[in-house]
Amino acid sequence: MAELIEGRKVADEVVATVKEGAESLRAQAGVVPGIAVVIVGSDPASQVYVASKSRKAKECGFHSVQHELAEDTDEATLLTLIADLNADPAIHGILVQLPLPAHIDAGRVIQSIDPDKDVDGFHFINVGKLSTGETDSAFVPCTPAGSMILTQRVRGHDLSGLNAVVVGRSNIVGKPMANLLLAANATVTIAHSRTRDLAALCRTADILVAAVGRPQMVEGDWIKPGATVIDVGINRIPAPEKGEGKTRLVGDVDFEAACAQAGSITPVPGGVGPMTIAMLMANTLVSACRRAGVAAPSF
Ligand SMILES: NC(=O)c1ccc[n+]([C@@H]2O[C@H](COP(=O)([O-])OP(=O)(O)OC[C@H]3O[C@@H](n4cnc5c(N)ncnc54)[C@H](OP(=O)(O)O)[C@@H]3O)[C@@H](O)[C@H]2O)c1
């Protein structure tokens, strides 16, 4: 039976380190980390994410501001707001909640964020730093950063000699995750919807990361015995056993079947999910420390 990698517990530890780091930064330099969360429109899922990010920031002792803009806000207005936040010395992290309404060019908006405040790690400067191995000065996207911490909890920091397969090649999860694994010396393969015989490829993986968005797609017999399985997927499926119209969350991996094969595995919920917000707080603290010239804690 696989060891459970308890993301919720690790995320609590990250947040505790962030709180201590924020207190120490205040004591040493009189600086309070500041985060601005910008949301355009009223997508219910985005509203929930933004509220939980703002709540966590307050819990960490941060200065936290939330800008809620109407659905029909034009791009120029949003770019002006970001320029103001870029110039605001009280703000160290800027997060624009995606997706943006279709009339706004999300790429242009992301690239307008000061790379030094890009705590989501989506700016080309940060993407470039990560892909050239400059992981010490890059901001790494929060979900892969959190997934990597969970991986290293069970596999250690040096992944030399291990085969890693990342299923999914998005800019937000798959590609940065592959770069992090590579930086830690794993031998990395990225799979996607055009990959042939995905099952056979997955069976080569000592570390298998599923970031697809297809409920329980990865089957138990795709998993190499003893492998570490990091399930990034968050999918809502019907759960008639809980009552009519009820739903439940599952990952991209068939958890029950995978547990019989894997050496260690993240559950859904309670695995990678909680790490994402924790890493956003960590990135914001790191940004504030860099600005103040104070050493940041390592995560
Ligand atoms: N835990 C968290 O905090 C967190 C954060 C972000 C995302 N997520 C979850 O992680 C999942 C992935 O997110 P994402 O943003 O990376 O998704 P995405 O942008 O939709 O990318 C999905 C990737 O999966 C690949 N794919 C789709 N069907 C496939 C198949 N049948 N076989 C192999 N590969 C396939 C796609 O390949 P192509 O490129 O060829 O189309 C694509 O590269 C989603 O469930 C999302 O909800 C969780």
Mean pLDDT of 251-261: 98
Domain extents for the chain? 30-115, 141-273
To 10 degrees, what angle do helices 44-59 and 272-292 make?
Answer: 50
135 has pLDDT over 90: no
Q: pTM here?
A: 0.97
Q: Which of 171, 193, 236 is the pocket-test mutation for ligand 1 (most atoms within 8 Å of CB)? A: 193
Residue pLDDT, tens place only, 142-173: 999 999 999 999 999 999 999 999 999 999 99
Matching CATH number, 141-273, of 3.40.50.1240, 3.10.105.10, 3.40.50.720, 3.30.1050.10? 3.40.50.720
Catalytic residue check, 97: yes
The DSSP secondary-structure symbol of 140 reads: P
Alpha-helical regions (H) of the chain: 7-29, 44-59, 75-87, 106-111, 124-131, 142-155, 174-183, 198-202, 255-259, 272-292
Measuring CA to CA, which residue among 243, 284, 232, 293 is closest to residue 19? 284
User: For the domain bounded by 30-115, which CATH number is listed?
Assistant: 3.40.50.10860
Q: What percent of the chain has pLDDT over 70?
A: 100
Catalytic residue among 56, 117, 118, 120: 120
Mean pLDDT of 258-286: 98
Q: Which residues are CB-neighbours of 22 under 8 A, at least 6 positions away?
A: 32, 33, 60, 61, 62, 285, 288
Residue pLDDT, tens place only, 46-104: 999 999 999 999 999 999 999 999 999 999 999 999 999 999 999 999 999 999 999 99
Which ligand 1 atom sits nearest the alpha carbon of residue 212?
Answer: 24
Extract the tokens encoding 193. 């919807």
pLDDT at residue 110, rounded to an integer: 98
Contact present, 141 and 176 (Cβ < 8 Å): yes
pLDDT at residue 197, rounded to an integer: 98
224 has pLDDT over 90: yes
Catalytic residue check, 175: no
As a whole number of angstroms, the distance between CA 102 and CA 110 comes to 14
Catalytic residue check, 53: yes
Residue pLDDT, tens place only, 32-44: 999 999 999 999 9
Give the pocket of ligand 1 (CB within 6 Å): 143, 167-170, 172-174, 191-195, 198, 211-214, 232-235, 272-273, 276
pLDDT at residue 97, rounded to an integer: 96
136 has pLDDT over 90: no
Q: Identify each DSSP E strand in 148-225 by its residue range.
A: 163-167, 187-191, 207-210
